[in-house]
Chain A
Amino acid sequence: MDSTPVKHTFFSPARIWAIATNTLLELFRLKVFYFLLIFALLLIGSSAFMIDFNFQEQFQLLKDVSLGAMSIFTWLLSVLATAMLLPKDIEDRTLYTILAKPVPRFEYLIGKLLGILLLLLVSTLVMSALFVAALYGRQQFVISETIRTSAGMPAAQLQEIIRGVRTSTFTFSLIPCIAIIYIKAALFAALTLFISTFASSWIFTIMVSVACYFIGHLQGIARDYWLGSATTGPLARIFLALVALIFPDLQLFNLVDDIVAGNSVPLLLFGKTAALGGLYTFIYLLAAYFVFASKEL
């Protein structure tokens, strides 16, 4: 048996990975994935509304409902699951067990956040698979109905209609659409983690995080007024400046509404937005570390 003592390193991806997978397992045990059943029911239930609509409307409604639900569920999951992480670890005293070992606090935080990000990734992928299956099922139904009701139609015209159905079902822009939902949820997980490092309870964390969500969607308006309007008073300008500087601009990550309406996002622009999302996540993690590093436990 090798008796050489294992040298302790300042930064260990293996330790972070162990914390991340444990976090993911804990969340699995909390049965957080039950919400996927609600998502599936929502997809099936929304079909009931679609009988009387034409195929364009059917696809539009299905995409709007599915992507809207994905957006809500991933956001809720990121806030609720993250808000409970630290309080639960303190309550179970798991936190003390981990930090009693030579695990730096930043590794603990990174591990926890990574666990949440993995959870969000799995959720997003499963929801995407359900969404694609529902969309494909609807597409096949529409095609078979078209063939059934088009007896006597020239073959070329029928092919053209079927091609129209196919192109209005799956578009390339659905990929950045789903990716941006994940990026926004990741940003919120980091923000919620930061809030939870100084919050007195998980309810406080959730309340503040939800407030940040709504303020974040108005941040762009505050910024435009602050930078553009000279008519507002000095106090109002200070207030607008603080809102613009402190809160994230969530409108930049709110692309779903426009993409499902048929807009396509340029790849470079999407890349910049994704990079900004990554930067937000990093900065909130850093802020969380500053608070957590000297927190009395």
Chain B
Amino acid sequence: MTDLAQQTPETLRPLGQRGWFRFTTVAALLLLFGAVRLPIETRLTQEYRSAFFHGAKLNLGLRQQIGQAGFLAALGGFRALVADGLWIEAHVDWTRTEWGKMLFLFNNVTALQPRNIMFWEMSAWHMAYNASAAAIQDTRQPRLALRLKHQHEYFLIGKDFLERGIQNNPDRYNLYESLANVLRDKLKDHCAAAIEYGKAAQFPDAPAYEVRFAAYELSYCPGHERGAYNELVRLYRLGQKEWLPTLFSRLKYLQETLNIPHSQRIIIPENQLPHHH
């Protein structure tokens, strides 16, 4: 074989005529392939974005917060691992009740993995439930008004996490439900909670209780008593599966509030009402 006759060690040699031809051929092949795949890749990228892929915004602000190495790893396709590292760090901070640092880390974790429902839910839960409870019990702050203010601020931070989570995950019911829980339990905004439960209920994979919860919350919303009553009656007529203590309790309240004629009222057995201790 002729190649064997010219055995020379592989070194950096200047390109000869054949070398240039070879280089040009390969460069042309790669550029041609690049031109062919360009529209394909552009379209595929759009399709992935429509399917909620690659939504993380890796910008300079995030780089400053997670450091050069973390940012490089995130760019290199290891966003989940970097996010997990920060999440473990936040967990350690939780045991030390360092709420400010936790908030900083949660912001980074959710920026890295915006499609991870658990990160949004847990971040919101820590802020709206744990940090807010710590704020109201903060013995370093003697003034109740300031403690209440801090508590309310943490409620709003929790709500903000869930609203941003919904912006990134509008195709899943979970965060609507979590937002409704915060609105109901912490901010006592029952009208808004009813709307969010209602949105969650529209998803085909949402649990059946979302519809129920939306009706319950609507019954607490001033000015919507009639709509709530009609919805609760509709639920009642679905059968015994829906005959739960809260349903009876809210029906009883609305029947009295709306002055529903006795002949039209649903008879509510006393033993079906929630027990109050």
Contact = CB atoms under 8 A, between A and B. Distances in A.
A261 B77 contact: no
A202 to B, nearest CB: 11
Given A200-B10, A252-B48, A276-B40, A64 B75 contact: no
B51 interface: yes
Interface in B48-98: 48, 51-56, 72, 75-81, 83-84, 87-88, 91
A296 B30 CA distance: 22
A246 interface: yes
A254 B80 CA distance: 11
B77 A273 contact: no
B35 A245 contact: yes
A78 to B, nearest CB: 14
Range, interface on chain B: 35 or more
A258 B52 contact: yes
Contacts of A283: 29-30, 33
B29 A261 contact: no
Contacts of A272: 44, 47
Contact of B118 (A56, A68, A252): A56
**For chain A, what secondary structure do more than half of its interface residues adopt (helix, strand, loop), or is it mixed?**
helix
Contacts of A286: 29
A252 B31 contact: no
Nearest to B79: A257
Interface residues of A, number: 56
B34 A60 contact: no
Interface stretch (A33-41, A116-124, A130-138, A217-225): A217-225
Contacts of A256: 77, 80
Contact of A290 (B25, B38, B118): B25
A189 interface: no
Contacts of A279: 37
A100 B47 CA distance: 49
A100 B88 CA distance: 58
Nearest to A250: B77
Given A100-B1, A200-B10, A269-B51, A261 B26 contact: no
Interface of B: 1, 3-4, 6-8, 10-12, 18, 22, 25-26, 29-31, 33-35, 37-38, 40-42, 44-45, 47-48, 51-56, 72, 75-81, 83-84, 87-88, 91, 113, 115-118, 122, 172
18 contacts: A61-B88, A65-B81, A100-B1, A200-B11, A218-B75, A244-B34, A245-B30, A245-B35, A249-B41, A249-B45, A251-B45, A257-B77, A257-B113, A261-B113, A261-B115, A262-B115, A283-B29, A296-B3
